[in-house]
């Protein structure tokens, strides 16, 4: 028995949706129970050409939000809808220290979007940073951990420190779209050389896009090329 088998025996993996142990070999290989996987609502066409949100009609090109405002980010994708099922999983990952869930998230994302990522000719993966206070509270940056997993599986360079959050901001949860954007003005700082690089920004959840847009704007002011994003989940508005 190798060390991975010993580790699985001593610390059996759990399903990232129901949080029960994965006893079946096939479930362990997929990192999730089959029935739980089917509960996750994957984003499919028609979707917004910029942010990837689902659209009601194939005749639409952009969602309501992307029609109303420009974005510094070229385009992005998310895997699942942010609903009652996926939100519980993300909450446990972020706040209960369920880091093993990142294996499932990253492999699921790449199963559907590896070809898209390769088509972008991305030179660097950059996670959305946390403030020092939040990172101390959680013990890790969930976006950075996910970015490192994606970098490991794709071979793309990952830098978890090149963008820092330098301003203390209010929690985004209770703010509307305009307030979120104002809240994040000048919140991020690029500390390294991104000139001419195509960049993929990684985060766990996309809601209004204000955080991603602030990141993209910050990177482009420092000379970055095209900026894209990839998240696990996305909200409707």
- Determine contact, residues 22/33, Cβ cutoff 8 Å: yes
CA Rg value for the chain:
18
Cα–Cα dist 150/216, whole Å:
19
CA separation for the pair 74, 50 (Å, rounded): 7
Identify the pLDDT of residue 27: 87
Give, for 51, the enclosing helix (H) or strand (E): none
Give the pLDDT band of residue 167 (cuts 50, 70, 90). confident
Distance CA 206, CA 233 (A): 6
pTM for the complete prediction? Answer: 0.89
Average confidence (pLDDT) over 127-149: 94
What mean pLDDT comes out for the span 84-113?
Answer: 96
């Amino acid at each position: 028995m190798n060390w991975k088998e010993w580790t699985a025996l001593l610390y059996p993996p759990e399903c990232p949706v129901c949080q029960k142990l994965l006893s079946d070999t096939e479930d362990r290989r997929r990192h999730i129970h089959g029935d739980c996987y089917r509960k996750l609502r994957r984003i499919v066409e028609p979707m917004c050409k910029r942010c990837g949100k689902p659209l009601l009609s194939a005749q639409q090109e952009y969602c309501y939000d992307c029609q109303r405002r420009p974005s510094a980010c070229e385009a992005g994708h998310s895997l699942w809808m942010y609903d009652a099922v996926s939100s519980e999983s993300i909450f446990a990952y972020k706040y209960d220290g369920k880091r093993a869930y990142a294996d499932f998230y990253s492999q699921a994302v790449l199963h559907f979007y590896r070809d898209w990522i390769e088509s972008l000719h991305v030179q660097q993966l950059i996670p959305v940073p946390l403030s020092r206070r939040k990172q101390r509270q959680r013990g890790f940056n969930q976006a950075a951990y996910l970015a490192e997993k994606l970098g490991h599986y794709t071979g793309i360079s990952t830098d978890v420190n090149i963008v820092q959050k330098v301003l203390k901001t209010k929690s985004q949860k209770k703010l509307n779209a305009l307030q979120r954007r104002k809240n994040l003005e000048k919140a991020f700082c690029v500390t390294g050389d991104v000139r001419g690089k195509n960049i993929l920004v990684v985060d766990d959840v996309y809601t209004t896009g204000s955080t991603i847009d602030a990141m993209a704007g910050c990177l482009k002011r420092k000379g970055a090329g095209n900026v894209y994003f990839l998240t696990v989940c996305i909200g409707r508005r």
